Chain A
Amino acid sequence: MMLRIVLPGLVAAACLLWTGLVSAQTVSASPRRHTFEVTAGVAWFGAVTLGTGSADLTKNQTPPSPYPIFKTDSSVASAAGFDGRLAFALTRQLAIEGGFSYASPMLDTRVSGDVEGAPAVTATERLSQYGVDGSVVAHLTGWQFGPHAVPFVYGGAGYLRQAHERDILVTTGHEFHAGGGLKYVFRRGSGLLKDLGVRGDVRVSFRSGGVELDANEPTHAIPVASVGAFVRF
């Protein structure tokens, strides 16, 4: 439980320290102070292992013990989805960011080992997964790749909502995340729309809640990668 809180915090703190020690570049791909940045793109959400289960009868012996009639192995499959972000630059180096994501992954359960020989199957169901999060973003201006590209790191927390098919049942949870990426500005402007660019990043999301099958494994680490186009104004 400590990991999910400490890791994003350490990343953010390290970034703040680092960015504070370097001077801003004359021409920077990082956002100008007090500007907004809107990003829309696609994201890939990694698979989540939900653990194994067993449909157990009670064996006719003393003391009693489980007698499985079949076994299960479940996961939420990886899926592509939408990722949108709105950031506000406090300084050249530091921004706060809100994000929204949507994906529709499959919940897959491999059922095998049937006691009477029923064929093994993979039972499935499609989930709807929504995420809303907030992050602190540190642009690593000291590591800028020329005038157009700037790396960044970020960390934060969010809310997770996963709905089973037809919204029959909705489960919620929360997540903490930390990651990093690169922003590339390919067009600069001086009017209302100041910069256009693309962004790519990867993060690890530590999730609790949502669709859970094993109460003993409440936190899952999930890789997430996203690419998108951004505009600054």
Chain B
Amino acid sequence: MIRRVPQLFTVAALTCALAVTFAQRLGAYLKLGSTVGSSTVSLKWGGSPVRYFVNSGRVPGVSADEFRGAVDRAFHTWQDVPTSSVSFEFAGYTDAQPLDDDNMSTLGFLSRSDLDRVLASTNFLIDTRTGQILESDIFFNSIYSWSVSDAGVQGFYDLQSIATHEIGHFQGLGHSALGETDLRPGGGRRLIAAAAVMFPIAYANGSTTGRTLTADDIAGTSDIYPDGGFRETTGSIEGRVTLNGKGVYGAHVVAYHMQTGALVGNFTLDDSGSFVIAGLQEGPHLLRVEPLDDADVESFFDDSSRVEQGFAPRIYDRIVVVPRGGVAPSVTVTVTGR
């Protein structure tokens, strides 16, 4: 069965992505997925290189060639991850629009004033039985001002940064919660800081920080498309988060590498509070558990009512050592109510 996955736009201020179904159970990283009966399959492309088209339209300040250059660089950012096998290929310019069902994965601008808090969005056509992505389109909302300047321009959103985020979705990644935000008086959230391109709220206009992948992003793409000894050279941490003796669903668990400072996060993804954080460099780690309260829960989970947020952040009081190519001994982190 083939179907167009409906877009579920987040409503966070200047959010730059969509969600499909958040699929993953005990894999690593939050991946997009499709529900088949009682199980869920992760979205991914069936082969590489994945071919994409660029809409030949333009917006003020960004020609079609400049647009293509920026998205090319963003695709290469992901393609250059040595532990991921996914690759991309520019297939040509097209007059097709990003949301057309035409077996062409198309990137381009659309004017969507109805989505006044959305910078860009990714949309999929998938085989719902296998999770295979058949087509994926990305549109950039032309109601905003865009820049392809190397250094970024104040007042203009950096096209390459936002494309890097959307291309994360394009390959099947969900959102990361590695970020801190505060609420804006007029609604929505303002990003304070982040440690993942895949955080659902964009850096401010003028910033080019979102062009650079972090350890969390690299772990995510490598988990979907493992290559270059990824499974053999990295390890994982698994365990449970409990509150009053019961598993916590939707807790955000972050592993901090004590030598490199790398941060990689994931969520507890079932009612027993189980989590797995994979793609970790070998070595000692600290674990921090927090409620998912720095972005709209709907940006991460379909069923937000299940997500437990009524607990206080906690740092686990044991150092967890990740072996190369293996799994650290299971841990249980007990959190307390706020």
Contact = CB atoms under 8 A, between A and B. Distances in A.
A and B associate in one complex: yes
Interface of A: 53-62, 64, 67, 69-70, 72, 74, 107, 109, 111, 114-119, 121-125, 164-166, 168-169, 211-213, 215
B202 to A, nearest CB: 9
Interface string B152-186: 10100000000000000000000000111000000
Interface string B305-338: 0000000111111110111101011000000000
B292 interface: no
B321 A165 contact: yes
Contacts of A74: 258
A124 B194 contact: no
A111 B254 CA distance: 14
Q: Give the size range of B's interface with the partner.
A: 35 or more
A70 B258 CA distance: 12
A164 B284 contact: yes
Contacts of B284: 107, 125, 164, 169, 211, 213
B318 A123 contact: yes
30 contacts: A57-B195, A59-B192, A60-B193, A60-B207, A62-B207, A64-B207, A67-B180, A70-B256, A70-B315, A72-B258, A107-B284, A109-B258, A109-B286, A109-B319, A116-B290, A117-B313, A118-B313, A118-B314, A121-B316, A121-B317, A122-B317, A124-B318, A125-B284, A125-B319, A164-B321, A168-B323, A169-B282, A169-B321, A169-B324, A212-B259
Contacts of B192: 57, 59-60, 67
Contacts of B254: 55
Which of the listed residues A74, A119, A123 has the most CB atoms from chain B within 10 Å of its own CB?
A: A123
Interface string B264-282: 0000000000000000001
B151 to A, nearest CB: 9
Contacts of B191: 60
B152 A62 contact: yes
Interface of B: 152, 154, 178-180, 190-195, 203-204, 206-207, 209, 254, 256, 258-259, 261, 263, 282-284, 286, 288, 290, 312-319, 321-324, 326, 328-329
A-B complex: 6 closest residue pairs judged by Cβ atoms: A67-B193, A57-B193, A125-B319, A118-B313, A164-B321, A57-B195
Nearest to B320: A125
A107 B319 contact: yes
Given A57-B180, A62-B206, A169 B263 contact: no
A61 B190 CA distance: 12
Contact of A60 (B154, B194, B258, B322): B194
Contacts of A211: 284
B286 A213 contact: no
Contacts of B315: 70, 111, 114, 118-119, 121, 123
B181 to A, nearest CB: 9
Contacts of B318: 123-125
Contacts of B203: 60
A97 to B, nearest CB: 34
Contacts of A57: 178-180, 192-195, 263
A114 B193 contact: no
A124 B207 CA distance: 39
Contacts of B190: 60
Contacts of B152: 62
Contact of A123 (B317, B326, B328): B317
Nearest to B289: A118
Nearest to B214: A58
Contacts of A54: 261
B291 to A, nearest CB: 9
B178 to A, nearest CB: 7
A72 B286 contact: yes
Nearest to A74: B258
Contacts of A56: 195, 261, 263
B312 to A, nearest CB: 7
A107 B319 CA distance: 8
A152 B209 CA distance: 61
A140 to B, nearest CB: 43
A16 to B, nearest CB: 41
A53 to B, nearest CB: 6
